Amino acid sequence: MASVNIENLNTLSGLHPKPENVKFTYGTAGFRMKAELLDSVVFRTGILAALRSKKLDGKVIGCMITASHNPAQDNGVKLVDPMGEMLEGSWEAHVTALSNAETNEQLVDIIHSMVSSLKIDLTKPAKVVFGRDTRPSGEALAAAFVDGLKVLDAETTDYGIVTTPQLHYITRCLNTAGTPEAYGEPSAEGYYKKLAGAFKTLVDGKTKLSPLTLDCANGVGAPKFQEFVPFLGDSISVNIMNDDVENASKLNLNSGADYVKSNQRAPVGLKMVPQQRYASFDGDADRIVYYYQDDDSTFKLLDGDKIAGLAAMFIIDLVKAAGIDSISVGVVQTAYANGASTQYLRNTLNVPVSCVPTGVKHLHHEATKYDVGVYFEANGHGTVLFSPSALKTIHSAEGSSPAQAVAIRNLRAFSDVINQTVGDAFSDLLFVETILTQRQWTPKIWDQAYTDLPNRLVKVVVQDRSIFKTVDAERKLVEPAGLQDAIDAIVLKFRDGRSFVRPSGTEDVVRVYAEAATRPETDELAFRIAGLVFDYNSNGSGLRPREFI
Ligand code: 16G
Ligand code: MG
């Protein structure tokens, strides 16, 4: 078994010193923080990516350098496993340990202990591909990543500026090439061809909808969607806005899916026209939300829950129409899903609904338990997974009538238009547009499936968020002791009241979610719970926010 070339490691690591007094954690979104702190972390993530590839016998590992919807000065890094899914959970601790080693000796020790405990054969090849979003800090961080790969002589390809889902797609294509599960051509062009081809099949012969206005948050989605447009031809009209990627400070500024969802208002620069369709991507194009303005000028959001409902409804109908309703459809949500959406799915669509903790990896994993698993976070991150056996059924079915044959063809194209690796704003956009086109629905008709309960999200700054421990898909607190009982006692007093408290995985805060029958009741519930949380953790110090009741 070969060993690590320590001299080489020392030289390369010397180029990427760890900042003192910073503790790094690989969380739900990988490493994410101020870009200026990330050089050593990204270098070490390169080492880990190479180790992971060797462990998996030379399978290709992906790496995306992005901080999604965070402001321009931040950046981040996230690893992608061979089938395009998130890095396996147990490796998060290894990459965290590597990133926190204080000296080169410690770094070597951790690598050696991983090699022995995980039985990694260093003579195996390592292959790692990477890409980045439009952030100015991305280029230097990519160079640090390449230095990390050099420590273990990994083979690599730089895919340059891509969306996060494109990098996931490419990783899966590379690992499945030449197998029965071959996913497509491993390039941005291959991705465009696959999605556009499937979309054109789905809308063929249907009356085209009015143009969609698309806010790209001045992020990577803008140049990439421009690149995509020629492949789509005249099958769809999209007016792209907030596409200034030259001026980095504009990235995600008052725009994008996160802004629109959190503020329930249109992005900067958009003058809405009633009943027209609008959509917003986030900064790395793995989330999307839709919205429109009603005739009375109210802003109406069609978020991840609404998209999940639309997708589930459509697939259930299609599976029935195809005569293959042996295929089970299920939906996966988190506790943030609006209670009205869960009721709609369970009671109107009659589909099973699972609730899992926040973070795509949890949703993705649960969705693989269904033949067709629809998963969405309310914030607009999600996709639809088709199990291998469902795909087999869909591809072998012939149908006993022309109508069944059409439904089967549509199901096949639908499975191709949907990115199977991760939530993908481009692919989600195309499947929403497919459904609206096939039904000739306006956003208002889509919205009528159910009416959202008013809801409110409040951030509470506490001394130590790690003391908040949850169970039951984050819907109940077990620590601090007694707090959940106090929450329950308050919630009981509100009609249709529901509230839960969880520590954020990405910010140093505790989040409080509340919903109730009316807006005033919802606000009162949210702030009463927030006040309670604050009191439990403030030790009497700090200023109690005035709005907390
Ligand atoms: C990350 C997650 C996202 C989740 C969010 C919650 C991935 C790829 N991203 O951005 O799914 O909604 O964290 O943030 O898993 P929070 O823990 O701060 O509420
Ligand atoms: Mg994102």
Interval between CA 180 and ligand 1 midpoint (Å):
33
The answer, yes or no, to whether any atom of ligand 1 lies below 6 A from the CB of 304, is: no
Provide the domain limits for residue 507.
455-548
The answer, yes or no, to whether any atom of ligand 1 lies below 6 A from the CB of 308, is: no
What whole-number distance in Å separates Cα of residue 156 and Cα of residue 150? 10
How crowded is residue 125: how many other Cβ atoms within 10 Å of its Cβ? 14
Interval between CA 364 and ligand 1 midpoint (Å):
13
Give the residues across from 34 on adjacent strands.
74
Residue 24 in any domain: the answer is yes
The answer, yes or no, to whether any atom of ligand 1 lies below 6 A from the CB of 512, is: no
Same domain (yes/no): 534, 462: yes
Interval between CA 37 and ligand 1 midpoint (Å):
21
Residue 2 has pLDDT above 80, yes or no: no
pLDDT, position 464: 87
pLDDT, position 539: 62
Same domain (yes/no): 309, 232: no
Same domain (yes/no): 339, 215: no
Record the tokens describing residue 51, joined without a space. Answer: 């180790």
Same domain (yes/no): 368, 394: yes
Record the tokens describing residue 407, joined without a space. Answer: 């439904």
Helix (H, G, I), strand (E, B) or coil at 222: helix
Q: CB-based contacts of 540: which residues, under 8 Å, 6+ apart?
A: none
Q: Is 393 annotated as a binding residue?
A: no
State phi, psi for 158 to the nearest 5 degrees: -95, 115
475-517 confidence digits (pLDDT tens) = 999 999 999 999 999 999 999 999 999 999 888 899 999 999 9
Residue 325 in any domain: the answer is yes
Question: What residues act catalytically?
Answer: 68
Same domain (yes/no): 288, 322: no
- Atom number, ligand 1, closest to the C-alpha of residue 503: 17
Residue 41 in any domain: the answer is yes
Q: CB-based contacts of 3: which residues, under 8 Å, 6+ apart?
A: 122
Residue 122 in any domain: the answer is yes
Interval between CA 286 and ligand 2 midpoint (Å):
5
Q: Which among 207, 236, 258, 92 is positioned nearest to 439, based on CA atoms? A: 207
pLDDT, position 542: 66
Number of structural domains (the chain) is 4
Residue 132 in any domain: the answer is yes
Element (H, E) at 374: strand 372-376
pLDDT, position 549: 81
Same domain (yes/no): 470, 530: yes
Average pLDDT score over the chain: 96
Residue 331 has pLDDT above 90, yes or no: yes
Q: How confident is the model at residue 31 (pLDDT cuts 50, 70, 90)?
A: very high
Q: Is 81 annotated as a binding residue?
A: no
Q: Which among 216, 263, 210, 211 is positioned nearest to 238, based on CA atoms? A: 211
Give the residues across from 360 on adjacent strands.
none
Same domain (yes/no): 323, 282: no
Element (H, E) at 34: strand 31-34
Same domain (yes/no): 396, 487: no
pLDDT, position 538: 64
- Atom number, ligand 1, closest to the C-alpha of residue 423: 8
pLDDT, position 77: 98
Q: CB-based contacts of 273: which residues, under 8 Å, 6+ apart?
A: 293
Same domain (yes/no): 35, 97: yes
Q: How confident is the model at residue 543 (pLDDT cuts 50, 70, 90)?
A: confident
Q: Whose CA is nearest to atom 1 of ligand 1?
A: 29
Best substitution site from 133, 375, 474, 506 to test ligand 1's pocket, by max atoms within 8 Å of Cβ?
506
Residue 545 has pLDDT above 90, yes or no: no
Same domain (yes/no): 39, 138: yes
pTM, to two decimals: 0.96
Give the rounded percent of residues in the chain with a pLDDT score beyond 70: 99
The answer, yes or no, to whether any atom of ligand 1 lies below 6 A from the CB of 504, is: yes
Q: Whose CA is nearest to atom 2 of ligand 1?
A: 359
422-434 confidence digits (pLDDT tens) = 999 999 999 999 9
Q: Tell me what the mean pLDDT of segment 225-246 comes to.
A: 98
pLDDT, position 128: 98
Same domain (yes/no): 365, 502: no
96-145 confidence digits (pLDDT tens) = 999 999 999 999 999 999 999 999 999 999 999 999 999 999 999 999 99
Residue 176 in any domain: the answer is no
- Atom number, ligand 1, closest to the C-alpha of residue 506: 18
Please tell me which residue, 449 or 505, carries the higher pLDDT value: 449
**Which of 250, 282, 300 is the last residue before a domain boundary?**
300
Residue 1 has pLDDT above 60, yes or no: no
Q: Is 68 annotated as a binding residue?
A: yes
Q: Tell me what the mean pLDDT of segment 23-45 comes to.
A: 94
Q: What's the CATH number where 485 sits? A: 3.30.310.50
**Which of 300, 321, 340 is the last residue before a domain boundary?**
300
- Atom number, ligand 1, closest to the C-alpha of residue 509: 18
Interval between CA 259 and ligand 1 midpoint (Å):
14
**Which of 270, 300, 330 is the last residue before a domain boundary?**
300
List the single range of 57-61, 345-349, 540-544 with lowest mean pLDDT. Answer: 540-544
Q: Tell me what the mean pLDDT of segment 159-182 comes to.
A: 97
Residue 174 in any domain: the answer is no
Residue 236 in any domain: the answer is yes
What does the DSSP assignment read for 104-160? HHHHHHHHHHHHHHTT--TTS--EEEEEE-S-TTHHHHHHHHHHHHHHTT-EEEEEE
340-357 confidence digits (pLDDT tens) = 999 999 999 999 999 999
pLDDT, position 306: 98
Q: How confident is the model at residue 463 (pLDDT cuts 50, 70, 90)?
A: confident
Q: Measured between alpha carbons, how far is residue 479 from residues 58, 464, 466, 530 in Å?
A: 43, 12, 10, 16
What whole-number distance in Å separates Cα of residue 507 and Cα of residue 70? 11
Q: What's the CATH number where 73 sits? A: 3.40.120.10
Same domain (yes/no): 324, 289: no
Q: CB-based contacts of 513: which residues, under 8 Å, 6+ apart?
A: 335, 336, 455, 456, 457, 499, 500, 501, 526
